[in-house]
Structure 1
Amino acid sequence: MDDRGRESGHLMLILPERVFYAGLLGRPRERRPGAFHVYVAIKGGLWLTLGERREAYRDIVVMPPNQRHTIASDYRSAICLVIEPESVRAGAFEELAERLSGAEGESLACRIRQAYHELRQRHSGDEMSSAEFDLMCFGEALPARALDPRVVRSIAQIGKFCGEPVTAASCAAEAGLSPSRFLHLFKQETGIPFRSFRAWKRARHLLHFVNADINLAHLAQDIGYPDSTHFSHSIRRFYGLKPRAIFSGSRDLAIYRSGRPANTAFS
């Protein structure tokens, strides 16, 4: 771990299809992230609120994508795992959720906490694949989703975050499809509407910069937001916090990145 996160223990590992975050949750507010989330208490427990209904107190919480919820912790920091839904076979996360919420929940929560301690010893040059991430956290690799190559190419275009914003029309043209046919194919393959997918990926890209001293207005423009108001609204919807609050709480966060392809075999 670098000096930035050594004392606090706060860290974030960012892979193309996974994120491991251990740090501040911030003031509890409703959030609606676009990926599967697994929250694990580092100490104490967690409270989950869905609308007006407070769930049972627990040390591990599993949430599907686009589910409005509020998460609060007894301790200032917690662990959050992010799994991109287009990266796992349909039904695979639901199977994992049953394990995490059932009899295996306690042992898997311990395993995830152990993964956190292992990551605290991580060096910035270490590489990791999605399969290695899953093995570290869950004891097995989640089965990957097989995507149409045309959808894979459009996802790669969305992930570049440079030049003009990627549109459904431009992706459809590259795929040799009409816009309506492309939109149907994209949702059929990923399970997510194109615009929702693009909005989440844009907000997710913010994670790479949250411990940097950077002009937020310039960053918003660079990653494709039309203006600061839209930027702030979108980030708050996904994360439950305004961009400035996220950056303020991430000053002591050590960030590691790994870019190995999803299907890279591990030894």
Structure 2
Amino acid sequence: MEGTRPCAERFMLVGPERVFYAGLLGRPRKRTLGSFILFCSMEGRLELSVTGEPAVTLEAAVLPAYREHSIQSEHRCVIGVLIEPESVDPASLARLEAAARAMDQAELAGRLRAAYRRLRAMPLKHRLSTAAFDAEALGEPLVPRRVDPRIARVLGVLGERPGDPLSAQDCAALTRLSVSRFLHLFKQETGHSFRALRAWKRARHLLNYANETINMAHLALDIGYPDSTHFSHSIRRFYGLQPRAIFSGSRELEIFRSGEAAGP
């Protein structure tokens, strides 16, 4: 389904709790993003295959975090809004998902494309807070999740220093909890296991470097992987692409980084 028409201006806005991506899709195999995602093709339709379900052709799609799937697009470029689920009140995220699924696909695709045009023209997009990002990309801010301060501290470390060799034992000591109690509380407060979320934060950190010329082995170590093999396997599992394919397709991608998260 992939077309040959060139992409318009390609950019990615990366914040601690949100990502807006407008760029090449490539040819991903099965992928399992750790973010809740809304996406559409830059033009035309997508073919979406969710593991365990029949393939469908549609204008726009919504998927929960950690849902294995693969996509193809009629256009070379796609638009995606990635939302870190542990940053959003579960009821607020459920309402967003329900509203997106109930919406006409063409309308949802039109809204995502309109958000792309607005953000593309915005000179200081990297200064957007999470709430301002939501207003631009989704129409209104999502309600932040209230998290136990001990778990919030761990989430802060995972987000700011994903390359640190942070184990469950380390986090239990940081929170002054037993390991079993910490793991239980972490999943209760975030909706996901510590191991799964830690792995995703490391893979997500790659996005900050995707358009740079960089040594892959050094990058793997910098973002917390013991070697290039583990790095390649993890990135392929989350994104459906080898790291080199991601970097190759991102050479002309402009990346804007923002650092202000939503308050509790």
TM superposition score category, shorter chain reference: over 0.9
Is residue 18–residue 81 contact of structure 1 (8 Å, CA) maintained in 2? yes
Give the structure 1 partner of residue 23 of structure 2: 23
Change (3 A) 1:30 1:140: same
- 1:107-146 equivalences under 5 Å are 107-123=107-123, 126-146=126-146
Could you state the TM-score of these two structures normalised by the residue count of structure 2?
0.92
Could you state the TM-score of these two structures normalised by the residue count of structure 1?
0.91
Give the structure 2 partner of residue 187 of structure 1: 187
RMSD: 1.8
Give the structure 1 partner of residue 4 of structure 2: none
Q: Which moved more, 1:103-112 or 1:214-223?
A: 103-112
Is residue 46–residue 57 contact of structure 2 (8 Å, CA) maintained in 1? yes
Is residue 129–residue 263 contact of structure 1 (8 Å, CA) maintained in 2? no
| Per-residue deviation, 1:135 | 1.1
Change (3 A) 1:236 1:162: closer
Give the structure 2 partner of residue 207 of structure 1: 207
Equivalent position SS for 1:256? strand
Structure 1: runs of 5 or more not aligned: 1-6
Equivalent position SS for 1:186? helix
Q: Which moved more, 1:73-82 or 1:107-116?
A: 107-116
Give the structure 2 partner of residue 3 of structure 1: none
For the residues of structure 1 that align with 2:84 and 2:163, how far apart are their CA atoms?
24
Is residue 49–residue 56 contact of structure 2 (8 Å, CA) maintained in 1? no
Identity over aligned pairs, percent:
51
Change (3 A) 1:164 1:239: closer
Is residue 108–residue 138 contact of structure 1 (8 Å, CA) maintained in 2? no
For the residues of structure 2 that align with 1:103 and 1:195, how far apart are their CA atoms?
34
| Per-residue deviation, 1:92 | 2.4
Alignment of 1:239 onto 2:226? no
Equivalent position SS for 2:121? coil
How many equivalent residue pairs? 258
1:95 counterpart letter in structure 2 = R
| Per-residue deviation, 1:263 | 2.5
Give the structure 2 partner of residue 223 of structure 1: 223
Give the structure 1 partner of residue 102 of structure 2: 102
1:165 counterpart letter in structure 2 = P
For the residues of structure 2 that align with 1:173 and 1:161, how far apart are their CA atoms?
17
Give the structure 1 partner of residue 51 of structure 2: 51
